C-alpha cells in the first residue's frame, strides 16, 4: 500500500512541475509574495509613524526647545524661580490655577500623584518648578470616565500630579512652569501634546534634576495641606516680588533682619486685615472698610 501511494505522489509532483514550466505561476507567486512582504513592512512602519506624529511634533529637542508654544490655546509667562515663603505665609497669586511665581519652600509630591482633594497652591507651584505638569479639574464637570482618563495620565508617571480645583472656570486646566492650557474635554488631544512638550522639559523648568519625591518630613501626600479659598492677607508675598528685595528668601524669621521690628505685632496690623482671612477678625476689619477699597468687596 505505502509504496504504491508513494510512486503516485512522485508522478503527481512531476506533472505539477511540467505545468509550472510552461506557465510560470511560481515566479509570479514569488514576486507577489515579495511585494506583499515589503508592503506589509511599509504599512506597519507607516502606521507606527502616523501614530507617533504627535510625539515627534511635541517632544522638546535642540531645534524645537519649547513645542508647547505650537499648541493652540497655550498661554506662557516668565517667572523668577526660587522665591520661597514658609507656611502659613501665602502668595498673592493673580491667575488661577497659578502656574509660577513665589511658592512655599516645600514642594508637593508630584511623582505621579493623584490628589482627591484640593491642595494648597503654594506647594503645587513649587512642584511646577521641579518640572511637573499639574492637571487641575472642576469636580462638578469632570467625573466618571473622564476622571479615569485623566487619572491614567498621572498615576505612576514621573513629574505628574492632579487635583480638583474649586471654582475652576473650565472643566480642565493644565499647568507647567510658566504655561497654562484650559480645555473642555478629557479627550482633547492637546492634553497629551501639552504633557509631551512640558513634562520635565529641561529648556523650560528652572531646576533641572530637582525631584518630585516629597520630603516625607514636611509633606504628606495622603494628607496634603488644604487649598485655601480665601483672599490672601496683606502679609502675602506679591507676584511682583523682586528676588533682590527678598534676598531670595522670606522665612518665618525674616523680621529678625530688622532688629527694631516687633515681629508678632507687625504681622497683625489693626483694622487692615483682609475680611476673608479670619472670621474672628471680622468686627475689627469692618471698621477699616470705610476708608479702604475693601469697601467694594463688601458691597
Partner 1 sequence: MVTRHPRARSGSAEKSDGSPPPGVGSGGPPWIRAVTLVGAVLALLLLGAAGGMLVGLPGAGGSAAPSAESVDVGFAQDMTIHHRQATTMATLYRVNGEDPSISQLAFDIDTNQREQIGWMQGWLNIWDRSLTPVDGYMNWMTGPEGHQHHGAVPQDENGAPAIMPGMASEEELAELRAARGEELDVLFLQLMLRHHEGGVEMATYAAERAGRVQVRNLASNMLQHQTAESAKMVGMLRERGAEPLPFDN
Q: What does the block give as the cell for 10? A: 512522485
Residues 232-251, interacting with partner 1 (CB under 8 A):
243-244, 246-251
217 contributes a contact to partner 1 by CB under 8 A:
yes
For residue 17, the tally of other CB atoms under 10 A from its CB is: 10
Q: CB of residue 82 vs partner 1: minimum separation in angstroms?
A: 3
Residues 76-105, interacting with partner 1 (CB under 8 A):
80-84, 86, 105
Chain center to CA of 238: 24
Q: Which is nearer to partner 1, 52 or 297 (CB)?
A: 52
Q: Which is nearer to partner 1, 96 or 249 (CB)?
A: 249
> According to CB under 8 A, which one of 15, 69, 208, 282 is a site residue for partner 1?
208
Q: Which helix (H) or strand (E) holds 53?
A: helix 53-58
Q: CB of residue 241 vs partner 1: minimum separation in angstroms?
A: 12
> According to CB under 8 A, which one of 48, 223, 260, 280 is a site residue for partner 1?
48
> According to CB under 8 A, which one of 21, 78, 169, 222 is a site residue for partner 1?
21
The pair phi, psi for residue 249, each rounded to 5°, is -155, 130
Residue span binding partner 1 (CB under 8 A) among the ranges 19-27, 141-149, 185-193, 269-277: 19-27
Residues 254-293, interacting with partner 1 (CB under 8 A):
254, 256-257
> According to CB under 8 A, which one of 32, 69, 155, 282 is a site residue for partner 1?
32
- Number of helices (H) and strands (E) in the chain: give both, helices first: 10, 11
The pair phi, psi for residue 121, each rounded to 5°, is -50, -45
Q: What does the block give as the cell for 228? A: 485655601
Residue span binding partner 1 (CB under 8 A) among the ranges 68-76, 134-142, 201-209, 291-299: 201-209
155 contributes a contact to partner 1 by CB under 8 A:
no
Sheet with 133-137: list strands edge to edge. Answer: 75-76, 179-183, 172-176, 133-137, 160-164, 111-114
The pair phi, psi for residue 201, each rounded to 5°, is -75, 110
Strand partners, 249: 84
> According to CB under 8 A, which one of 15, 69, 155, 202 is a site residue for partner 1?
202
Q: Which is nearer to partner 1, 35 or 155 (CB)?
A: 35
Q: CB of residue 177 vs partner 1: minimum separation in angstroms?
A: 12
Q: Measured between alpha carbons, how far is 87 from 102 in angstroms, rounded to an integer? A: 12
Q: CB of residue 280 vs partner 1: minimum separation in angstroms?
A: 28
Q: Which is nearer to partner 1, 143 or 218 (CB)?
A: 218
Q: Measured between alpha carbons, how far is 227 from 123 in angstroms, rounded to an integer? A: 10
Q: Which of 184, 187, 131, 190 minimizes the C-alpha distance to 161? A: 131
Q: Which is nearer to partner 1, 44 or 234 (CB)?
A: 44
The pair phi, psi for residue 268, each rounded to 5°, is -120, 70
Residues 50-79, interacting with partner 1 (CB under 8 A):
52, 55-56, 59, 62
Strand partners, 237: 91
Amino acid at each position: 500500500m505505502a509504496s504504491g501511494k508513494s510512486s503516485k505522489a512522485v508522478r503527481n509532483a512531476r506533472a505539477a512541475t511540467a505545468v509550472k514550466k510552461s506557465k510560470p505561476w511560481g515566479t509570479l507567486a514569488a514576486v507577489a509574495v515579495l511585494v506583499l512582504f515589503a508592503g506589509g513592512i511599509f504599512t506597519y512602519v507607516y502606521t507606527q509613524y502616523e501614530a507617533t506624529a504627535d510625539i515627534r511634533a511635541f517632544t522638546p529637542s535642540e531645534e524645537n526647545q519649547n513645542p508647547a508654544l505650537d499648541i493652540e490655546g497655550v498661554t506662557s509667562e516668565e517667572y523668577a524661580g526660587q522665591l520661597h515663603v514658609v507656611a502659613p505665609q501665602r502668595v498673592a497669586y493673580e491667575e488661577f490655577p497659578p502656574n509660577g511665581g513665589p511658592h512655599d519652600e516645600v514642594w508637593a509630591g508630584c511623582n505621579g500623584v493623584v490628589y482627591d482633594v484640593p491642595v494648597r497652591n503654594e506647594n503645587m507651584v513649587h512642584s511646577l518648578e521641579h518640572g511637573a505638569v499639574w492637571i487641575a479639574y472642576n469636580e462638578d464637570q469632570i467625573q466618571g470616565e473622564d476622571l479615569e482618563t485623566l487619572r491614567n495620565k498621572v498615576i505612576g508617571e514621573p513629574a505628574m500630579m492632579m487635583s480638583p480645583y474649586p471654582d475652576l472656570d473650565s472643566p480642565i486646566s493644565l499647568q507647567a512652569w510658566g504655561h497654562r492650557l484650559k480645555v473642555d474635554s478629557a479627550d482633547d488631544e492637546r492634553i497629551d501634546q501639552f504633557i509631551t512638550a512640558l513634562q520635565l522639559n529641561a529648556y523650560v523648568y528652572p531646576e533641572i534634576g530637582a525631584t518630585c519625591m516629597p520630603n516625607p518630613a514636611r509633606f504628606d501626600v495622603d494628607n496634603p495641606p488644604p487649598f485655601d479659598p480665601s483672599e490672601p492677607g496683606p502679609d502675602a508675598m506679591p507676584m511682583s516680588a523682586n528676588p533682590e528685595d527678598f534676598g531670595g528668601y522670606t522665612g518665618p524669621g525674616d523680621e529678625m533682619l530688622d532688629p527694631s521690628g516687633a515681629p508678632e505685632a507687625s504681622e497683625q496690623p489693626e483694622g487692615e486685615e483682609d475680611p476673608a482671612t479670619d472670621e474672628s477678625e471680622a468686627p475689627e476689619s469692618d471698621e477699616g472698610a470705610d476708608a479702604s477699597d475693601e469697601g467694594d468687596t463688601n458691597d
